[in-house]
Structure 1
């Protein structure tokens, strides 16, 4: 594979002037709240508000000793996660096998996020440094790994909480906007539930975890899921589990995150 990065010490040619576009984000949020199946709106919101936070995350990622090795691999993470024969060959109880069971049960695919992101992004991602773009793709593709490791279902409350967890990890204001919109909607749907408390706990769990954007997911897939949780410092969302809502409804759209 042609190296995407030739001189780690050189100034990166990245688009560092990406401006916030709040009106675009608010319009997309209104559309999303009307139709939770319209996944591409999440990517539009993240794209409109997430630039500076993503660039900060990228700079942190580059300090890792294995950063270039991860980003210059021939196969994208999406391709690995879409290889069901490989995942099925992994040990029982491993992250890869549990991920496979999750996507088969929910009847979803890794490349579904790719299609939604291609529709949702409005900025020209080709102006980004190739490695920065590759990191954004890994973050997008790891959304359902967060579901498995964080123990979140794909019910509406589970999606809201996995987003709160993700915001705790990334600090992306676009994700926060989606979370706030989701809180408003789900408090109306489940007035008896402790929605705010659940979301706050999930956010704290994301904050307490290790730097998940830097995780070597390919190397972790064969490892037992419980051990991966321990290694990455991922706790259990006890309030969400106690709510009785986990997997209690037909999934109401996917809310993936790209940065």
Structure 2
């Protein structure tokens, strides 16, 4: 008889202690998981079953790695998926099921891509419409809705869609709040998402505040964290927004309907600070030459 497979987590040979100390050297989580686990039949295309030890290992490793290097989108996605079950995603699904628009979103399962949204059409919409503000934000930040990682580590197909929907709507949250994709802006938006959705990964991402410069940390604690918590708690669940049906809506009217106030313009604040520092530097150089 062939030996019975062990349920104990077996680390791949390629994984060394350096991967634990420095998680940014981890290969993609999918490649890791395939190397040390026998898979069941997937529940949907791309789905990968994880055992409890695998989920814990990938969750901790990806959380640490994404904190060290916030540009590792694969680690951020893995952290989000491995820490959102068994409680948080079912909770969000139930919130959507209790809301008429949320139920329609779960039934229709729309996807947000550059094709489904027709970006040229959005550029033709009036100023201050949701669609125009969204595509203007995409163009200004140089990002695309087509880059969102597909969910793979969540077993329930409907819960997997909830996570995918959150992921694909993230840029709408940026456009709605005006927060840029710089690290400071991402930390502020993750704080808003945590207060509104209570997804563990978004709460963990707030820890990246320690990696900011002193001046940025002070702004975060004094301005953006208070704004994020206040607005995230009081506003409607942002997963219940059918963005595809709001593209022609006035963005200020949508903010008012949801109960979201605009934070101070972080891009302008950073630009003014940078301008002031350059002026101080020029003045100091001129004083030395005098």
TM bin (shorter chain): 0.7 to 0.9
Shift of 1:242: 9.7
Aligned to 1:94: 129
What is the SS of the residue equivalent to 2:270? coil
Q: Which has the bigger relative contact order, CA under 8 A and spacing at least 6?
A: 1
CA distance in 1, matches of 2:230, 2:266: 16
Normalising by structure 1, report the TM-score. 0.75
**Residues 22 and 78 from structure 1, CA distance in 2 versus in 1: closer, same or farther, beyond 3 angstroms?**
same
Identify which of 58, 68, 73 aligns with 1:39: 73
What's 1:214 paired with?
Answer: 240
Give the TM-score normalised by structure 2.
0.67
Distance in 1 between residues matched to 2:164 and 2:90, nearest whole Å? 14
Structure 2, unaligned runs of 5 or more:
1-42, 44-49, 275-290
Residues 59-110 of structure 1: CA deviation (Å, up to 9, x unaligned): 1111122444323337523356652122123222201011111111111110
Q: RMSD of the alignment, in Å?
A: 3.1
**Rg larger in structure:** 2
Q: How many pairs are equivalent?
A: 224
Alpha carbons of structure 1 residues 194 and 23: separation in structure 2 relative to 1, 3 Å: farther
Larger mean CA deviation between 141-150 and 86-95 belongs to 86-95
Equivalent-residue separation in structure 1 for 2:88 and 2:272 (angstroms) = 32
The match for 1:245 is 270
| 1:178-257 equivalences in 2 (<5 Å) | 178-180=205-207, 182-186=208-212, 188=213, 190=215, 193-197=218-222, 198-238=224-264, 241=266, 244-245=269-270
Query: Which residue is equivalent to 1:30?
Result: 64
2-side partners of 1:247 and 1:99: how far apart? 24
8 Å Cα contact 1:25-1:49 kept in structure 2: yes
Once the two structures are TM-superposed, the CA of residue 247 in structure 1 deviates from its matched residue by 10
